[in-house]
Structure 1
Amino acid sequence: MAEQVFQLLGCDFTSAPSRRKPVVLALGHLNRGRVVLETLETFGELAHWQARIQQQGDGPWVGGFDLPFGLPRELVTSLGWPTDWLACLHHYAGLSRSEIRLAFKAFCDGRPAGAKFAHRATDGPAGSSPSMKWVNPPVAFMLHAGVPCLVEAGVSLPGLYAGDPNRVALEAYPGLLARSVLGHASYKSDDKARQTPERLIARRTLIEALESGRVPLLQGAGLRLKLSHAQRDQLADDASGDSLDAVLCLLQASWALHQHNSGHPHWGLPPFDPLEGWIVSA
């Protein structure tokens, strides 16, 4: 039987997209160990991004999405919310952002300094922010805005929600891949005053490592990024890092597809809490 060909998606998400700060979607495919970037698409409105995800014509795809897919179990049980993932999502989606902020702030106010936030099990190995943070970055609102759209689109979230098996969404985190090359050196900023030559050099260093395959995650799967000259310049010149982050999510999706093609039944995901979710490749 011929191996099913999946398109690859990588999504850098924002909970309040605009023309200045859009959602960025990277599209690509695998070709003999090369992750070929086809194009980058931007969406200044959430509804336009959701409509794009709902499209059926692209055929089978697997995507890495830079937004949390679940909340910490400790938080959910403390608030008395449903502990079934889908029921919890529906409850969460029915709240306003101000209601979420008040509930999460009350939870944090009752905890000691240095341990204000509850964490998911995946946060440690991924080095990610707790999914209940409502500022810097407001990932709690990214979950609130994005995950209901994925469920409504009918895609599959492995281990969480059984949707269309030919459209697979995985939680990704570009910082995990970037840090494996740059350590904690910054490569991006939305603040123009902080868009420095040092960050440009860091982006170029990261891109070169991705193209040569000198990244632990890619080396283990025998993968490397394939760019055109124009794409390489585009990624380096985007000082916000949004385009590069979408490509990093695309690469995490390519690793998951490699795991899938190698016979892993869960896209490379380990056993995890079905309320919290897991970041692919963590």
Structure 2
Amino acid sequence: MAPAFSPPQPPLAAPWPPLIGVDFSSSPTARKPIVVAQGERIGAVVRLGALSALPTLSDFGAWLKRPEPWVGGFDLPFGLPRELVAHLGWPTDWPALMDHYAQLSRAQIRDTFAAFCAARPVGHKFAHRACDKPAGSSPSMKWVNPPVAYMLHAGVPLLREAGVSLPGLAAGDPQRVALEAYPGLLARDVLGQRSYKADDVARQTPERLIARKDLVDALEQGRTRLGLRLKLSHAQREALVDDPQGDKLDAVLCLMQAAWACTQPRWGWPEGVDPLEGWILAA
């Protein structure tokens, strides 16, 4: 049996710390950068401040190392399924597992995970974390569409190198708190299975534009499971709606999840979460 979340963390009191939400990419470019949304929570309102674009992993790593305090929601997995780790004989404590994982190449990760899936029956190819089903997220061992296994491989070492706190997983700077978020969780609260974004220009349709408008409207009105309202300027609203790839909007969705976590015991982790796997905010 996995140990429960160890250091209990009571809800923070207002005024809450600065907030960030990060739409992460394992292979960012100038055209498809990592997007950081910054903001603040005031009561039940989350006010969006700046949106920043970081075109390389080294830019993102340097940004993380800045001493400014924040609580952040990051759109990348922080853990692997225990079933997968045990089957592979990898370390079963989180820091040692992350050390091992960081030493692998992407090709080694792909080949190892593909061999694991090939030996399993149809419909049960992937191993899942306990948070995947309630969050509706892809398994963190998936290496394509989306390549979240590579996102973990690229992102978690940068968080650890920056010395941030990863509650339930690893100690670090208590003024910089990184939590796993998933924008699709909130998007589905509003849109169901409607798509609101696409990287492929041919799929950037009027229907997806309307879905982004509907999603932003719902965030401004507080119509998600979080019970928080997003405050935007007119220019910010246009920027979120007019981004067909949805990166800015995804960063804001992660920002909202970070704002919610500030007032939750254990940063929103349920009792008994497996500390090897971690948890997705608000799942």
Partner of residue 30, structure 1? 41
> Following superposition, which runs of at least 4 residues in structure 1 exceed 6 angstroms of deviation?
none
Q: In structure 2, how many angstroms separate the alpha carbons of the residues matched to 1:216 and 1:75?
A: 31
Q: How does 1:76-225 map to 2 (within 5 A)?
A: 76-218=85-227, 223-225=228-230
Partner of residue 269, structure 1? 269
Q: Aligned partner of 2:270: which letter?
A: P
For residue 217 of structure 1, give the secondary structure of its aligned residue in structure 2. Answer: coil
Q: In structure 1, how many angstroms separate the alpha carbons of the residues matched to 2:281 and 2:16?
A: 20
Partner of residue 9, structure 1? 20
Partner of residue 49, structure 1? 60
Percentage identity across aligned positions?
A: 66
Q: In structure 1, how many angstroms separate the alpha carbons of the residues matched to 2:85 and 2:42?
A: 42
CA-CA distance at 1:216 after TM superposition: 2.5
TM-score by length of 2: 0.94
TM-score by length of 1: 0.94
For residue 64 of structure 2, give the secondary structure of its aligned residue in structure 1. Answer: helix
The Cα RMSD (Å) is: 1.0
Alpha-carbon displacement from aligned partner over 1:176-221 (angstroms, at most 9, x marks no partner): 0000000010000001000000000000000011001122222xxx
Q: Aligned partner of 1:188: which letter?
A: K
Mapped contact 2:16–2:262 kept (Cα < 8 A): no
For residue 19 of structure 2, give the secondary structure of its aligned residue in structure 1. Answer: strand
Mapped contact 2:106–2:150 kept (Cα < 8 A): yes
Q: In structure 1, how many angstroms separate the alpha carbons of the residues matched to 2:225 and 2:114?
A: 38
The question of 1:242 aligning with 2:253 is answered no
For residue 111 of structure 2, give the secondary structure of its aligned residue in structure 1. Answer: helix
Structure 2 residue runs without a partner (length 5+): 1-12
Q: Aligned partner of 2:28: which letter?
A: P
Alpha-carbon displacement from aligned partner over 1:95-125 (angstroms, at most 9, x marks no partner): 0000111111111111111111000000010
CA-CA distance at 1:4 after TM superposition: 5.3
The alignment covers a number of residue pairs equal to 270
